[in-house]
Amino acid sequence: MAFRLIYHRVPVESGDSPFVLALREVALGEALDLAAPYLSLARLQELADLAPRWRVITDMDAWLRAYPAQARDIVAFVRTHESRFRDCRGLHAKVAIGTHAALMGSANFTDPGLGKNHEVSALIHDSAHCDELRAWFESIWDPTFPPHRAKCVALARALSSPQAQHALRTLETAALPLGPSPLRVNKSSTIAPTHQATLDTPQTTASSQEHPRMVAAIRALFASEGLAHRALDCLRDAITAAEISSRDPRLHVSTDRRISQHTFRVTLGQRYVASVGHIGTQTVVCLMLSEALAHRDDVRALALHVGNGFKGGRPMFYARIPLAALDTLASDVWDDWRACIAYQLTRAQSSPYRSKHGFRQGTYDLIMDPTVRADLVRQALRGG
């Protein structure tokens, strides 16, 4: 039989559910690939013990928020097996792909999904369909990256606090409208949903002029899909750090071309806080930093150029870091960059660039939407 349906009576009265048995069947082989936003840590550890080689694509933010009491344990497990994980924002699929079979359907790989909810899945033995699912898995694995270690640790720490868990329980029982809402933990700490900007995005597409401009910029700036995603992740992090949506008048994003130079920019008010462009033949990421950090020896040793971006208020500096060296920056440099973004946000009332040129929805989607980005990067660098 090419496939069979998996379902059960709810609740399961005794023994393992058909979903658990099907998962174990899929895991019995040389390799196991899992894609799901929510997973039971105990179940994942069991499956990892069954398969010599295993990999997981998940939405780390969603996973941690679903299990606030276990968030620290989840982060510890992920850090131990970092190379086996990829973080895909907005992932909704629930798929397990083994050597000889695959399971796909509505059930998350959690205790409620596998044993308590009304779910249905298909256990597939057809080799052609299994190969197609493997190809789908690789298409998401390749352009994504392991979870951001510092962000996961910070979110787990915040979610593990008694105040956060109480607030989460309140949100679960309250009749709230759909959409993100910052979760106040204390006066100095806010758990801000990283999907806020994405969820608030108007469902529009790039203009006929913006689309070819973005494709041309990707081709000019990036030698590989991995480098493209790393640079655009930095711009995404700038918007995420600002905790503002696409509708905020202070935010402007753009894809520019001046003479032969292509640039992606994220601007708050009159100042850009992050951009990607060229210096000579090198692709660089330009970060807004304080004077102390911009002129520190380790930053100046990496930067191709450090310049003053003073336009009133506290003087800010711009360090242009080669894209290939971006991950060698010390963690306090990134902390300083986020602090500069927060400061700029307090000064900005609206973006004159947004008022003059309009909001570039296509560039925003390229930065924030993983599906749009993957398609555009693939189109630009693979020609399809």
Q: What would the pLDDT profile of 150-163 be if each residue is shown by its tens digit?
A: 888 887 887 776 65
Q: For the residues of 261-324, what is the DSSP string, one character each?
A: EEEEEEEETTEEEEEEEEETTEEEEEEEE-HHHHTSHHHHHH-SEEEE--SSSS--EEEEEEGG
Read off the pLDDT of residues 39-77 as tens digits, 9 standing for 90 and up. 999 999 999 999 999 999 999 988 988 888 899 999 999
Q: Kindly report the number of other CB atoms within 10 A of residue 136's CB atom.
A: 16
Q: Can you tell me whether residue 10 is helix, strand or coil?
A: coil
Alpha helices by DSSP H, listed for the chain, are 18-27, 41-50, 60-66, 71-80, 111-115, 127-141, 149-159, 162-173, 196-200, 210-221, 225-242, 291-294, 297-302, 331-347, 352-357, 361-368, 370-382
Cα–Cα distance between 259 and 40 in angstroms, integer? 53
For 320-336, the DSSP string reads EEEGGGGGGS-HHHHHH
Judged by DSSP in three states, 34 sits in: strand
**CB of 276 closer than 8 Å to CB of 283:** yes
- The pTM of the full predicted model, rounded to 2 decimals, is 0.49
* Percent of all residues in the chain with a pLDDT value above 90, rounded to a whole number: 48
Q: Dump pLDDT digits (tens) for 155-212.
A: 788 777 665 555 445 434 433 333 333 333 333 333 333 333 333 333 335 566 788 8
SS3 32: strand
3-state secondary structure (DSSP) of residue 352? helix
Domain 3-151 fold? Endonuclease; Chain A (3.30.870)
Domain boundaries, the chain: 3-151, 161-194, 198-378
Measured over the CA atoms of residue 266, residue 272, residue 275 and residue 277, the dihedral's sign is positive
What does the chain come to in residues? 384
Residues paired with 143 in a beta bridge: none
For the segment 120-135, the average pLDDT, to the nearest whole number, is 95
Q: Which pair of tokens denotes residue 134?
A: 């493997």
3-class state of residue 239 by DSSP: helix
* C-beta of residue 288 within 8 angstroms of C-beta of residue 337: yes
Which among 122, 70, 114, 60 has a CA at the least distance from the CA of 90?
Answer: 60
Handedness of CA 277, 280, 283, 289 (dihedral sign): negative
